Structure 1
């Protein structure tokens, strides 16, 4: 996130909208005031009416948010669920402080990775017994990629390529390169829009992001998974920017493996444990490159030979981080009774309304959207390109609108429907308009 200190007043960009070439997989779309567009008073009134009619608006009470702040950075760090502080205090004071080591049994610490995995599973379209929580996204991605390469080699020996989303978050690329060195594969970067054309008989593993972290582009998980399977490859999906924002459907679309973090739209807290999805059909053959004692069939036997436990728990490695694990479990209570489909519908309505407000409030030629217009290609964020983006975001933050910045010129606004409303979207766009004058 950019430095929240107040910078010099940003100046409008010198270039006209669309003059800077968009990065790969971006759709740049000029925005700005239209002489026939809605008036500010009309937009504020509409926001009020939309919030009044919103069935999810009451869910904001499940979160602790500072007064007067519009928080549009839930795609980096979700807001604090109101149940987490008391739960965490109980874990520290009673479970750890009073029960001490007995809590591994009496407080069910030992079963937390699978128990919380089952609690999270419906949000990504997975049946119980296929998600284990623990470690970081990077560690889980390493397990998934090496495990996928070993599954692919067993099914069709001799395949040589690991296809990787060319615009992926950098760490995914680093991990993929390491996994490729370890398994004898060659990394081949691909644009997800054309990934299906790149898949062939030499493809062993495909790694793709469900939503691009910079542009907010949503990739076609069902079609790309089907294409990977038609080519005989194993597919791994990174769900960091989609889980908790839109339906994923891992089981419905026969995804092989998936990973994701829990501190964004799932609101698990800073550094919250990530998760690993292993489809039931692959679990018996899944060979983790990190065979830790927590994934052993008999962990307390302390034998020199590793025998993986049955099921998804073989994805466990070391002792779970109980404090953050149980904070995540409490955070997931915010989803009680909430439909992911309803969240998706509100997300699209919010992002549509925000773009409309930006077009009404912001001077022409000042910003352009790099987030796809089509709902089928949009995640739950809007990314706007502009000159002086770092300074613009810092100024927004100083005025109580919190988004974030991605180099060199992208303003990101994440819309978390559980606690973001239409008045938030209107105020954010209006504040952006004020900054540019």
Structure 2
């Protein structure tokens, strides 16, 4: 290579680097301004965080800082000293409904309609079979979201075998046209776990109920990230986990919502002594308790349940309107920074840009997604990926800041741009 060619290449590389540094400085300054104006910024200090950019709250939320001390009391005093007395004196027995009432305002429900306990999968089973039983014998088909989280599909198939129904998978947007007099229940995800697509819960619920069927919603990727409006929109039954945006801890118990107007008819496929009208009567014939309590089964998982109860205190005084506004602002800014930092053609956004169709997650499709995410983790940026080629970034408004967003997009740009230096002369790469 001639000296003139080398000099031109050097000047071009230097110019590109200077332009990139200027763009980065502008983005970082904008992030500082947005963080300074954030009405939820103070909530960040309620969590145990470090220098890692944590964008995987859509899989496991961060630890609220006060939970360890609260759990020490549960273990040392309530369990260690009071022992069996804690079922009454420490309120263990009423925890499933009490904690359900703490979750209720976060999903737009009045008290007395949510019970906490069991896993999401178990609650999907209870809700779906219960919905089919309410619908009656004349309706022999269950509709299920074609792109649903696999377990929901498995459970729908099992529920169909148990109740003598059939299952038909449809895209959520196609549900109104697929409904008929045969439809017993429809199981849908509020936010798609893979793409972050938000579905129209009010319109779909209205269509389902107008057809005489029951709407069952999976809220795992929406509760704690955006308003849901269960009561307002006439949802029949809903389920959700608590370890994502609700920050309840790994494997924290899920919850079941049964609307007040469906509670008397709700016939759980898993009746247990905890949901009996007289639980300590030990009677041989099952008679369900009134209200949401009939969603209980057996002895609740007290340790994880009380950790969840403590974790939910971070929501005191938090407006879901502010949460949604920040969620959209964070994801907007991430997309803006990705456009600025990521080399053209290296990643494709599969999350809707439209606010009305976006949850609190951005999903990007790119080659070697697993290797890309591992390289990001090496830079202190944590998201996750789904086979075969999807990068997922979850934005928890309570503790993710705009500086985190800018740093994550910058790191992604570095990782995806590493191969672009191969055409430069040796010594100018890197």
How does 1:43-62 map onto structure 2 within 5 Å? 43-62=27-46
**Aligned-pair CA distance for 1:213:** 0.0
Structure 1 residue aligned with 2:121, among 138, 142, 160?
138
Cα-to-partner distance string for 1:151-176 (whole Å, 9 max, x where unaligned): 000xxx41111000000000000001
Residue 318 (1) aligns with residue 298 (2):
yes
Residue 127 (1) aligns with residue 107 (2):
no
**Aligned-pair CA distance for 1:99:** 0.3
SS at match of 1:206: strand
- CA–CA separation in structure 2 for the residues paired with 1:285 and 1:390: 47
Structure 1 residue aligned with 2:133, among 125, 134, 150?
150
- CA–CA separation in structure 2 for the residues paired with 1:69 and 1:114: 36
SS at match of 1:284: coil
Cα-to-partner distance string for 1:283-306 (whole Å, 9 max, x where unaligned): 111000000100000011111111
**Aligned-pair CA distance for 1:129:** 0.2
How does 1:389-428 map onto structure 2 within 5 Å? 389-428=369-408
**Aligned-pair CA distance for 1:38:** 8.2
How does 1:242-261 map onto structure 2 within 5 Å? 242-261=222-241
Name structure 1 gaps, 5 residues minimum.
1-34
Contact 1:38-1:360 within 8 A present in 2 as well: no
Residue 179 of structure 1 corresponds to: 159
Contact 1:228-1:234 within 8 A present in 2 as well: yes
- CA–CA separation in structure 2 for the residues paired with 1:39 and 1:397: 24
Residue 336 of structure 1 corresponds to: 316
Name structure 2 gaps, 5 residues minimum.
1-18, 418-430
SS at match of 2:96: helix
SS at match of 2:264: helix
**Aligned-pair CA distance for 1:39:** 1.2
Tell me the TM-score normalized by structure 2: 0.92
How does 1:242-391 map onto structure 2 within 5 Å? 242-391=222-371
Cα-to-partner distance string for 1:208-229 (whole Å, 9 max, x where unaligned): 0000000000000000000001
- CA–CA separation in structure 1 for the residues paired with 2:196 and 2:159: 26
Residue 95 (1) aligns with residue 87 (2):
no
**Aligned-pair CA distance for 1:83:** 1.4
Residue 30 of structure 1 corresponds to: none
Residue 115 (1) aligns with residue 98 (2):
yes
- CA–CA separation in structure 1 for the residues paired with 2:118 and 2:80: 24
- CA–CA separation in structure 2 for the residues paired with 1:378 and 1:249: 16
SS at match of 1:127: coil
Where relative contact order (Cα < 8 A, 6+ residues apart) is larger, the structure is 1
The alignment covers a number of residue pairs equal to 400
> Structure 1's 36 and 194: CA in aligned 2 closer, same or farther, altered over 3 A?
farther
> Structure 1's 91 and 223: CA in aligned 2 closer, same or farther, altered over 3 A?
same
Structure 1 residue aligned with 2:89, among 96, 106, 109?
106
Structure 1 residue aligned with 2:68, among 75, 85, 91?
85
Contact 1:37-1:360 within 8 A present in 2 as well: no
**Aligned-pair CA distance for 1:412:** 0.2
Cα-to-partner distance string for 1:252-275 (whole Å, 9 max, x where unaligned): 001000000000000000000000
- CA–CA separation in structure 1 for the residues paired with 2:414 and 2:269: 53
Cα-to-partner distance string for 1:402-435 (whole Å, 9 max, x where unaligned): 0001000000000001000000000000001111
> Structure 1's 37 and 158: CA in aligned 2 closer, same or farther, altered over 3 A?
farther
SS at match of 2:216: strand
- CA–CA separation in structure 1 for the residues paired with 2:58 and 2:175: 25
- Richer in helix (by share): 2
**Aligned-pair CA distance for 1:37:** 12
Q: Which has the larger radius of gyration?
A: 2
Tell me the TM-score normalized by structure 1: 0.90
